[in-house]
Amino acid sequence: MARSISKPVAELAHATEEISRGHLDYQVKIRSGDEFIALGLSFNKMAKKLQKALGEKDLINEDLKKSEEKYRTLFERVQHGIFISTREGKFIDCNQAMLDMLGYENKEEFLRLDITQDLYLNPKDREIFQSLIERDAFVKDFEVDFKRKDGEKITILLTAHTRRDEKGKIIGYEGLNSDITERRRLEENLRDLNARYLELLGFASHELKQPTAVLKGYLIMLRDETIGLLNTEKQRQAVNAMLRSVDKFTDMNNKYLRLSKIESGELEIVKKRFNLFQEVINPMRRRERIRLDKAKMRFNIENQEDFEKLEIMADSLLIEVVYANLVTNAIKYGKEGGEISLGFKENEKSLIFNVKNEGDGIPQDKLEVIFKKFVRLVDEKSPLKGSGLGLYNTKKITEIHDGRIWAESEEGKWVNFIFALPKD
Protein backbone atom coordinates (compact mmCIF):
# COMPACT_ATOMS: atom_id res chain seq x y z
CA MET A 1 0.00 0.00 0.00
CA ALA A 2 2.75 2.37 1.00
CA ARG A 3 4.43 1.64 -2.30
CA SER A 4 1.23 2.10 -4.23
CA ILE A 5 1.06 5.60 -2.70
CA SER A 6 4.66 6.58 -2.77
CA LYS A 7 5.23 5.78 -6.44
CA PRO A 8 2.54 8.08 -7.85
CA VAL A 9 3.61 10.79 -5.36
CA ALA A 10 7.17 10.48 -6.56
CA GLU A 11 5.98 10.60 -10.16
CA LEU A 12 3.96 13.82 -9.50
CA ALA A 13 6.92 15.37 -7.78
CA HIS A 14 9.07 14.48 -10.77
CA ALA A 15 6.51 15.95 -13.17
CA THR A 16 6.33 19.16 -11.19
CA GLU A 17 10.08 19.36 -11.37
CA GLU A 18 10.05 18.81 -15.16
CA ILE A 19 7.42 21.47 -15.71
CA SER A 20 9.20 23.96 -13.52
CA ARG A 21 12.22 23.43 -15.75
CA GLY A 22 10.12 24.48 -18.68
CA HIS A 23 9.33 21.05 -20.09
CA LEU A 24 5.70 21.86 -20.56
CA ASP A 25 5.05 18.82 -22.72
CA TYR A 26 5.83 16.50 -19.83
CA GLN A 27 2.89 14.26 -18.96
CA VAL A 28 2.47 12.36 -15.69
CA LYS A 29 2.52 8.59 -15.97
CA ILE A 30 0.21 7.27 -13.21
CA ARG A 31 -1.29 3.86 -13.46
CA SER A 32 -2.43 3.03 -9.92
CA GLY A 33 -4.49 4.50 -7.10
CA ASP A 34 -7.79 6.05 -8.17
CA GLU A 35 -7.23 9.35 -6.39
CA PHE A 36 -3.80 9.59 -7.89
CA ILE A 37 -5.12 8.80 -11.35
CA ALA A 38 -7.59 11.67 -10.96
CA LEU A 39 -4.89 13.93 -9.55
CA GLY A 40 -2.56 12.89 -12.37
CA LEU A 41 -5.18 13.69 -15.00
CA SER A 42 -5.82 17.10 -13.43
CA PHE A 43 -2.11 17.70 -13.34
CA ASN A 44 -1.72 16.81 -16.98
CA LYS A 45 -4.61 19.06 -17.89
CA MET A 46 -3.07 21.91 -15.96
CA ALA A 47 0.27 21.32 -17.62
CA LYS A 48 -1.35 21.43 -21.05
CA LYS A 49 -3.19 24.64 -20.24
CA LEU A 50 -0.01 26.11 -18.93
CA GLN A 51 1.78 25.08 -22.08
CA LYS A 52 -0.92 26.63 -24.22
CA ALA A 53 -1.03 29.86 -22.27
CA LEU A 54 2.69 30.25 -22.33
CA GLY A 55 2.73 29.45 -26.02
CA GLU A 56 0.26 32.19 -26.64
CA LYS A 57 2.33 34.59 -24.67
CA ASP A 58 5.30 33.72 -26.83
CA LEU A 59 3.22 34.34 -29.91
CA ILE A 60 2.12 37.69 -28.56
CA ASN A 61 5.70 38.55 -27.77
CA GLU A 62 6.64 37.56 -31.28
CA ASP A 63 3.87 39.74 -32.68
CA LEU A 64 4.94 42.63 -30.52
CA LYS A 65 8.48 42.23 -31.67
CA LYS A 66 7.46 42.09 -35.32
CA SER A 67 5.19 45.06 -34.95
CA GLU A 68 7.88 47.04 -33.20
CA GLU A 69 10.30 46.22 -36.00
CA LYS A 70 7.68 47.27 -38.50
CA TYR A 71 7.21 50.66 -36.85
CA ARG A 72 10.91 51.07 -36.35
CA THR A 73 11.42 50.44 -40.07
CA LEU A 74 8.67 52.90 -40.88
CA PHE A 75 10.17 55.43 -38.49
CA GLU A 76 13.58 55.07 -40.07
CA ARG A 77 12.62 54.80 -43.71
CA VAL A 78 9.87 57.38 -44.01
CA GLN A 79 10.91 60.44 -46.01
CA HIS A 80 9.65 62.87 -43.39
CA GLY A 81 11.71 63.82 -40.39
CA ILE A 82 10.18 62.43 -37.22
CA PHE A 83 11.20 63.72 -33.83
CA ILE A 84 10.47 63.48 -30.14
CA SER A 85 11.61 66.46 -28.14
CA THR A 86 11.48 67.95 -24.69
CA ARG A 87 9.61 71.09 -23.90
CA GLU A 88 12.87 72.85 -23.11
CA GLY A 89 14.27 72.21 -26.54
CA LYS A 90 16.34 69.04 -26.73
CA PHE A 91 15.69 66.09 -29.02
CA ILE A 92 15.08 62.74 -27.37
CA ASP A 93 14.91 60.76 -30.59
CA CYS A 94 14.63 61.30 -34.31
CA ASN A 95 14.80 59.25 -37.48
CA GLN A 96 17.36 59.13 -40.27
CA ALA A 97 15.32 61.39 -42.54
CA MET A 98 15.43 64.12 -39.91
CA LEU A 99 19.23 63.87 -39.77
CA ASP A 100 19.53 63.82 -43.57
CA MET A 101 17.19 66.77 -43.94
CA LEU A 102 19.27 68.89 -41.60
CA GLY A 103 22.63 67.63 -42.79
CA TYR A 104 23.78 65.79 -39.66
CA GLU A 105 25.65 62.50 -39.92
CA ASN A 106 26.05 61.94 -36.24
CA LYS A 107 22.87 61.38 -34.29
CA GLU A 108 24.55 61.94 -30.93
CA GLU A 109 25.64 65.37 -32.07
CA PHE A 110 22.11 66.11 -33.26
CA LEU A 111 20.57 65.07 -29.97
CA ARG A 112 22.84 67.53 -28.17
CA LEU A 113 21.55 70.53 -30.17
CA ASP A 114 19.71 73.35 -28.51
CA ILE A 115 16.67 73.36 -30.76
CA THR A 116 15.82 77.01 -30.30
CA GLN A 117 19.31 78.37 -30.87
CA ASP A 118 20.90 75.83 -33.18
CA LEU A 119 17.99 74.82 -35.35
CA TYR A 120 15.60 77.72 -35.70
CA LEU A 121 16.83 80.32 -38.16
CA ASN A 122 14.76 82.80 -36.25
CA PRO A 123 14.58 81.63 -32.59
CA LYS A 124 11.42 83.72 -32.09
CA ASP A 125 9.63 81.18 -34.32
CA ARG A 126 9.97 78.50 -31.66
CA GLU A 127 8.18 80.74 -29.22
CA ILE A 128 5.34 81.09 -31.70
CA PHE A 129 5.35 77.34 -32.31
CA GLN A 130 5.25 76.67 -28.56
CA SER A 131 2.46 79.10 -27.87
CA LEU A 132 0.39 77.51 -30.63
CA ILE A 133 1.01 73.90 -29.67
CA GLU A 134 0.46 74.54 -25.96
CA ARG A 135 -2.80 76.29 -26.70
CA ASP A 136 -4.26 73.68 -29.10
CA ALA A 137 -2.30 70.54 -28.11
CA PHE A 138 -1.27 70.24 -31.74
CA VAL A 139 0.11 72.26 -34.63
CA LYS A 140 -0.52 71.48 -38.27
CA ASP A 141 1.58 72.70 -41.20
CA PHE A 142 3.51 75.33 -39.29
CA GLU A 143 5.89 76.84 -41.82
CA VAL A 144 9.29 77.67 -40.43
CA ASP A 145 12.89 78.14 -41.54
CA PHE A 146 15.56 75.90 -40.00
CA LYS A 147 19.34 76.02 -40.26
CA ARG A 148 21.10 72.98 -41.64
CA LYS A 149 24.42 71.97 -40.12
CA ASP A 150 26.19 73.72 -43.01
CA GLY A 151 24.25 76.90 -42.25
CA GLU A 152 22.02 76.56 -45.32
CA LYS A 153 18.44 77.67 -44.85
CA ILE A 154 15.75 75.02 -45.17
CA THR A 155 12.01 75.59 -45.11
CA ILE A 156 10.03 73.11 -43.08
CA LEU A 157 6.38 72.29 -42.68
CA LEU A 158 6.03 71.23 -39.08
CA THR A 159 3.15 69.13 -37.75
CA ALA A 160 3.31 68.05 -34.11
CA HIS A 161 1.38 67.37 -30.96
CA THR A 162 2.15 67.55 -27.26
CA ARG A 163 3.57 64.74 -25.11
CA ARG A 164 2.19 64.55 -21.59
CA ASP A 165 2.97 62.68 -18.38
CA GLU A 166 0.38 60.65 -16.43
CA LYS A 167 -0.85 63.82 -14.76
CA GLY A 168 -1.44 65.47 -18.13
CA LYS A 169 1.41 67.93 -17.80
CA ILE A 170 3.11 68.79 -21.10
CA ILE A 171 6.62 67.33 -21.13
CA GLY A 172 7.49 67.79 -24.77
CA TYR A 173 6.43 67.44 -28.37
CA GLU A 174 6.56 64.88 -31.11
CA GLY A 175 5.82 65.22 -34.75
CA LEU A 176 6.78 65.40 -38.34
CA ASN A 177 8.95 67.71 -40.45
CA SER A 178 8.55 67.97 -44.23
CA ASP A 179 11.18 69.72 -46.28
CA ILE A 180 9.37 72.14 -48.58
CA THR A 181 12.41 74.19 -49.59
CA GLU A 182 12.23 72.95 -53.17
CA ARG A 183 8.49 73.53 -53.37
CA ARG A 184 8.90 77.07 -52.08
CA ARG A 185 11.69 77.68 -54.58
CA LEU A 186 9.50 76.50 -57.46
CA GLU A 187 6.67 78.67 -56.24
CA GLU A 188 9.03 81.60 -56.06
CA ASN A 189 10.08 80.94 -59.65
CA LEU A 190 6.48 80.73 -60.73
CA ARG A 191 5.69 83.95 -58.94
CA ASP A 192 8.59 85.66 -60.72
CA LEU A 193 7.51 84.26 -64.05
CA ASN A 194 3.97 85.36 -63.44
CA ALA A 195 5.02 88.84 -62.45
CA ARG A 196 7.17 89.08 -65.58
CA TYR A 197 4.36 87.72 -67.70
CA LEU A 198 1.96 90.31 -66.33
CA GLU A 199 4.51 93.04 -66.72
CA LEU A 200 5.04 92.02 -70.34
CA LEU A 201 1.30 91.84 -70.90
CA GLY A 202 0.87 95.30 -69.43
CA PHE A 203 3.78 96.62 -71.46
CA ALA A 204 2.52 95.08 -74.71
CA SER A 205 -1.00 96.37 -74.14
CA HIS A 206 0.37 99.79 -73.42
CA GLU A 207 2.58 99.80 -76.49
CA LEU A 208 -0.30 98.64 -78.68
CA LYS A 209 -2.17 101.81 -77.85
CA GLN A 210 0.18 103.85 -80.01
CA PRO A 211 -0.54 102.22 -83.39
CA THR A 212 -4.20 101.95 -82.42
CA ALA A 213 -4.30 105.68 -81.82
CA VAL A 214 -2.87 106.29 -85.28
CA LEU A 215 -5.39 103.93 -86.90
CA LYS A 216 -8.34 105.34 -85.05
CA GLY A 217 -7.36 108.93 -85.75
CA TYR A 218 -7.07 108.49 -89.52
CA LEU A 219 -10.15 106.28 -89.76
CA ILE A 220 -12.34 108.84 -88.04
CA MET A 221 -11.01 111.58 -90.30
CA LEU A 222 -11.80 109.36 -93.27
CA ARG A 223 -15.26 108.53 -91.97
CA ASP A 224 -16.09 112.13 -91.27
CA GLU A 225 -14.65 113.11 -94.67
CA THR A 226 -12.66 115.93 -93.11
CA ILE A 227 -9.69 114.98 -95.25
CA GLY A 228 -11.61 114.40 -98.49
CA LEU A 229 -14.76 112.70 -99.67
CA LEU A 230 -15.31 108.98 -99.80
CA ASN A 231 -16.53 108.14 -103.33
CA THR A 232 -18.50 104.95 -102.85
CA GLU A 233 -20.74 103.25 -100.35
CA LYS A 234 -18.26 100.37 -100.29
CA GLN A 235 -15.49 102.70 -99.15
CA ARG A 236 -17.74 103.91 -96.36
CA GLN A 237 -18.55 100.32 -95.37
CA ALA A 238 -14.87 99.46 -95.33
CA VAL A 239 -13.96 102.46 -93.19
CA ASN A 240 -16.77 101.72 -90.73
CA ALA A 241 -15.80 98.06 -90.46
CA MET A 242 -12.19 99.04 -89.75
CA LEU A 243 -13.31 101.46 -87.08
CA ARG A 244 -15.44 98.80 -85.40
CA SER A 245 -12.46 96.45 -85.40
CA VAL A 246 -10.21 99.10 -83.92
CA ASP A 247 -12.76 99.72 -81.16
CA LYS A 248 -13.07 96.00 -80.48
CA PHE A 249 -9.33 95.71 -80.33
CA THR A 250 -9.15 98.65 -77.95
CA ASP A 251 -11.67 96.97 -75.64
CA MET A 252 -9.72 93.73 -75.63
CA ASN A 253 -6.48 95.52 -75.08
CA ASN A 254 -7.86 97.48 -72.16
CA LYS A 255 -9.09 94.23 -70.69
CA TYR A 256 -5.59 92.71 -70.77
CA LEU A 257 -4.11 95.87 -69.44
CA ARG A 258 -6.47 95.85 -66.47
CA LEU A 259 -5.92 92.17 -65.77
CA SER A 260 -2.18 92.68 -65.84
CA LYS A 261 -2.69 94.77 -62.71
CA ILE A 262 -4.49 92.07 -60.75
CA GLU A 263 -1.29 91.09 -58.96
CA SER A 264 0.15 94.48 -58.20
CA GLY A 265 -3.00 95.47 -56.35
CA GLU A 266 -3.58 98.34 -58.76
CA LEU A 267 -6.68 96.73 -60.17
CA GLU A 268 -9.67 98.80 -59.22
CA ILE A 269 -13.21 97.88 -60.00
CA VAL A 270 -15.41 99.97 -62.19
CA LYS A 271 -18.96 99.07 -61.26
CA LYS A 272 -21.91 99.61 -63.50
CA ARG A 273 -25.40 98.15 -63.72
CA PHE A 274 -25.64 95.61 -66.51
CA ASN A 275 -27.62 92.63 -67.72
CA LEU A 276 -25.46 89.65 -66.83
CA PHE A 277 -27.12 87.30 -69.27
CA GLN A 278 -26.81 89.58 -72.29
CA GLU A 279 -23.35 90.89 -71.59
CA VAL A 280 -21.62 87.84 -70.16
CA ILE A 281 -23.51 84.55 -70.39
CA ASN A 282 -24.70 84.75 -73.97
CA PRO A 283 -21.42 85.88 -75.54
CA MET A 284 -19.69 83.15 -73.56
CA ARG A 285 -22.09 80.50 -74.80
CA ARG A 286 -21.36 81.61 -78.35
CA ARG A 287 -17.63 81.61 -77.76
CA GLU A 288 -17.52 78.19 -76.15
CA ARG A 289 -19.83 76.43 -78.64
CA ILE A 290 -17.06 74.74 -80.60
CA ARG A 291 -15.21 73.47 -77.54
CA LEU A 292 -18.49 72.35 -76.04
CA ASP A 293 -19.49 70.40 -79.15
CA LYS A 294 -16.08 68.78 -79.25
CA ALA A 295 -16.55 67.48 -75.72
CA LYS A 296 -20.17 66.56 -76.52
CA MET A 297 -21.22 68.68 -73.57
CA ARG A 298 -24.19 70.95 -73.26
CA PHE A 299 -25.13 73.99 -71.23
CA ASN A 300 -28.14 73.88 -68.99
CA ILE A 301 -29.39 77.25 -67.80
CA GLU A 302 -31.39 77.00 -64.58
CA ASN A 303 -34.42 79.27 -64.14
CA GLN A 304 -33.51 81.01 -67.37
CA GLU A 305 -36.43 83.42 -67.35
CA ASP A 306 -35.31 85.13 -64.14
CA PHE A 307 -31.68 84.83 -65.08
CA GLU A 308 -32.25 86.66 -68.36
CA LYS A 309 -33.86 89.57 -66.56
CA LEU A 310 -31.20 89.84 -63.86
CA GLU A 311 -29.31 93.10 -63.69
CA ILE A 312 -26.33 93.34 -61.38
CA MET A 313 -24.12 96.14 -60.14
CA ALA A 314 -20.57 94.96 -60.68
CA ASP A 315 -17.50 95.23 -62.88
CA SER A 316 -18.71 93.48 -66.03
CA LEU A 317 -15.24 92.79 -67.36
CA LEU A 318 -14.14 91.12 -64.14
CA ILE A 319 -17.34 89.09 -63.76
CA GLU A 320 -16.78 87.93 -67.31
CA VAL A 321 -13.31 86.77 -66.28
CA VAL A 322 -14.84 84.78 -63.40
CA TYR A 323 -17.33 83.07 -65.67
CA ALA A 324 -14.73 82.45 -68.36
CA ASN A 325 -12.49 80.71 -65.82
CA LEU A 326 -15.22 78.59 -64.29
CA VAL A 327 -16.68 77.53 -67.63
CA THR A 328 -13.26 76.78 -69.11
CA ASN A 329 -12.54 74.56 -66.11
CA ALA A 330 -15.93 72.90 -66.39
CA ILE A 331 -15.23 72.00 -70.01
CA LYS A 332 -11.65 70.95 -69.31
CA TYR A 333 -12.43 68.70 -66.34
CA GLY A 334 -16.02 67.78 -67.13
CA LYS A 335 -17.23 64.39 -68.27
CA GLU A 336 -17.54 63.86 -72.01
CA GLY A 337 -21.19 64.01 -72.89
CA GLY A 338 -21.96 65.68 -69.56
CA GLU A 339 -23.90 68.74 -68.65
CA ILE A 340 -22.68 72.13 -67.46
CA SER A 341 -25.31 73.91 -65.41
CA LEU A 342 -25.31 77.66 -64.93
CA GLY A 343 -27.62 78.79 -62.22
CA PHE A 344 -28.52 81.72 -60.08
CA LYS A 345 -30.56 82.28 -56.95
CA GLU A 346 -30.82 85.04 -54.40
CA ASN A 347 -31.40 85.49 -50.72
CA GLU A 348 -31.82 88.62 -48.65
CA LYS A 349 -28.28 89.74 -48.86
CA SER A 350 -26.66 88.07 -51.84
CA LEU A 351 -26.93 87.01 -55.40
CA ILE A 352 -25.60 83.50 -55.69
CA PHE A 353 -24.30 82.11 -58.97
CA ASN A 354 -23.02 78.67 -59.76
CA VAL A 355 -21.29 76.70 -62.49
CA LYS A 356 -21.66 72.97 -62.05
CA ASN A 357 -20.26 70.17 -64.18
CA GLU A 358 -20.50 66.42 -64.18
CA GLY A 359 -17.20 64.59 -63.90
CA ASP A 360 -14.63 63.26 -61.49
CA GLY A 361 -15.16 66.04 -59.01
CA ILE A 362 -12.64 67.21 -56.45
CA PRO A 363 -11.65 65.46 -53.18
CA GLN A 364 -13.12 67.15 -50.09
CA ASP A 365 -9.73 68.01 -48.68
CA LYS A 366 -8.76 69.86 -51.86
CA LEU A 367 -11.82 72.05 -52.13
CA GLU A 368 -10.19 74.99 -50.42
CA VAL A 369 -6.66 74.68 -51.62
CA ILE A 370 -7.64 74.94 -55.31
CA PHE A 371 -8.24 78.65 -54.85
CA LYS A 372 -4.67 79.21 -53.80
CA LYS A 373 -2.14 80.55 -56.16
CA PHE A 374 -0.42 78.12 -58.53
CA VAL A 375 -2.39 75.13 -57.35
CA ARG A 376 -3.32 72.70 -60.04
CA LEU A 377 -4.68 69.31 -59.19
CA VAL A 378 -2.76 66.53 -60.88
CA ASP A 379 -4.76 65.30 -63.77
CA GLU A 380 -3.72 62.65 -66.27
CA LYS A 381 -6.16 63.91 -68.85
CA SER A 382 -4.63 67.31 -69.23
CA PRO A 383 -1.31 67.45 -67.47
CA LEU A 384 0.25 70.86 -66.97
CA LYS A 385 -2.40 72.86 -68.73
CA GLY A 386 -3.39 76.21 -67.42
CA SER A 387 -1.45 78.66 -65.34
CA GLY A 388 -2.72 77.57 -61.94
CA LEU A 389 -3.93 81.13 -61.59
CA GLY A 390 -7.47 80.89 -62.90
CA LEU A 391 -9.28 80.09 -59.68
CA TYR A 392 -6.97 82.33 -57.71
CA ASN A 393 -8.00 85.20 -59.98
CA THR A 394 -11.68 84.37 -59.58
CA LYS A 395 -11.20 84.48 -55.83
CA LYS A 396 -9.47 87.85 -55.98
CA ILE A 397 -12.17 89.25 -58.23
CA THR A 398 -15.06 88.07 -56.06
CA GLU A 399 -13.24 89.43 -53.02
CA ILE A 400 -12.81 92.91 -54.44
CA HIS A 401 -16.55 92.80 -55.05
CA ASP A 402 -16.98 92.02 -51.33
CA GLY A 403 -18.22 88.60 -52.36
CA ARG A 404 -16.83 85.13 -52.01
CA ILE A 405 -16.35 81.95 -54.00
CA TRP A 406 -16.21 78.31 -52.94
CA ALA A 407 -16.54 74.82 -54.35
CA GLU A 408 -18.63 71.80 -53.47
CA SER A 409 -18.20 68.34 -54.91
CA GLU A 410 -19.33 64.77 -54.79
CA GLU A 411 -16.34 62.78 -55.91
CA GLY A 412 -16.86 60.81 -59.07
CA LYS A 413 -20.07 62.69 -59.81
CA TRP A 414 -19.94 66.44 -59.95
CA VAL A 415 -18.27 69.65 -58.87
CA ASN A 416 -20.07 72.92 -58.26
CA PHE A 417 -18.40 76.32 -58.12
CA ILE A 418 -20.49 78.91 -56.34
CA PHE A 419 -19.88 82.59 -55.99
CA ALA A 420 -21.92 85.10 -54.08
CA LEU A 421 -22.01 88.83 -54.66
CA PRO A 422 -23.63 91.22 -52.23
CA LYS A 423 -26.82 92.91 -53.39
CA ASP A 424 -26.27 96.62 -53.88
Partner 1 sequence: MGKKKILVVDDEPEIVEMLRMCLETASYEVVAAYNGQEGIDKTKKERPDAIILDLMMPEKDGFVACRELKNDPECAHIPILVLTAISEHFAHTRYAKSMGLELEAEDYIDKPMDPNVLLERLAKLLKK
* Chain residues that interact with partner 1, rule: CB under 8 A: 206, 209-218, 220-221, 224, 226-227, 246, 250, 254, 257-258, 261, 266, 268, 270
Beta-carbon contacts of residue 185 (< 8 Å; ≥ 6 apart):
none
E strand intervals along 231-378: 272-275, 298-301, 311-314, 339-346, 350-358
User: Residue 24, SS3?
Assistant: coil
Q: How far is the CB of 262 from partner 1 (least distance, A)?
A: 13
Dihedral angle sign, alpha carbons of residues 108, 114, 120, 126: positive
Beta-carbon contacts of residue 217 (< 8 Å; ≥ 6 apart):
none
Dihedral angle sign, alpha carbons of residues 308, 313, 317, 321: negative
Q: How far is the CB of 247 from partner 1 (least distance, A)?
A: 9
Nearer to partner 1, 51 or 212 (CB): 212
The two beta strands, 339-346 and 298-301, are: parallel
Q: How far is the CB of 203 from partner 1 (least distance, A)?
A: 11
Nearer to partner 1, 198 or 246 (CB): 246
Q: How far is the CB of 193 from partner 1 (least distance, A)?
A: 23
Q: How far is the CB of 234 from partner 1 (least distance, A)?
A: 23
Nearer to partner 1, 148 or 209 (CB): 209
d(CA 139, CA 18): 58
Nearer to partner 1, 254 or 300 (CB): 254
d(CA 99, CA 149): 10
d(CA 66, CA 58): 12
Q: What are the backbone dihedrals phi and psi of residue 361, each rounded to the nearest 5 degrees, phi first? A: 75, -170
Q: How far is the CB of 317 from partner 1 (least distance, A)?
A: 11
d(CA 103, CA 423): 57
Q: How far is the CB of 261 from partner 1 (least distance, A)?
A: 8
Q: How far is the CB of 322 from partner 1 (least distance, A)?
A: 20
Nearer to partner 1, 224 or 399 (CB): 224
d(CA 222, CA 240): 9
Q: How far is the CB of 237 from partner 1 (least distance, A)?
A: 20
Nearer to partner 1, 179 or 320 (CB): 320
How far, rounded to the nearest angstrom, does the alpha carbon of residue 214 sit from its chain's CA centroid?
50
Q: How far is the CB of 207 from partner 1 (least distance, A)?
A: 8
Q: How far is the CB of 321 from partner 1 (least distance, A)?
A: 16
The greatest distance separating any two alpha carbons of the chain, rounded to the nearest whole angstrom, comes to: 151
d(CA 288, CA 286): 6
Of 354, 360, 349, 330, nearest to 405 (Cα)?
354
Angle between helices 390-400 and 316-333 (to 10 degrees): 150
d(CA 188, CA 182): 10
- CA terminus-to-terminus distance, the chain: 114
Nearer to partner 1, 164 or 272 (CB): 272
Beta-carbon contacts of residue 221 (< 8 Å; ≥ 6 apart):
227
**Contact (CB, 8 A) for 30 and 43:** no
User: Residue 95, SS3?
Assistant: coil
**Contact (CB, 8 A) for 201 and 259:** yes
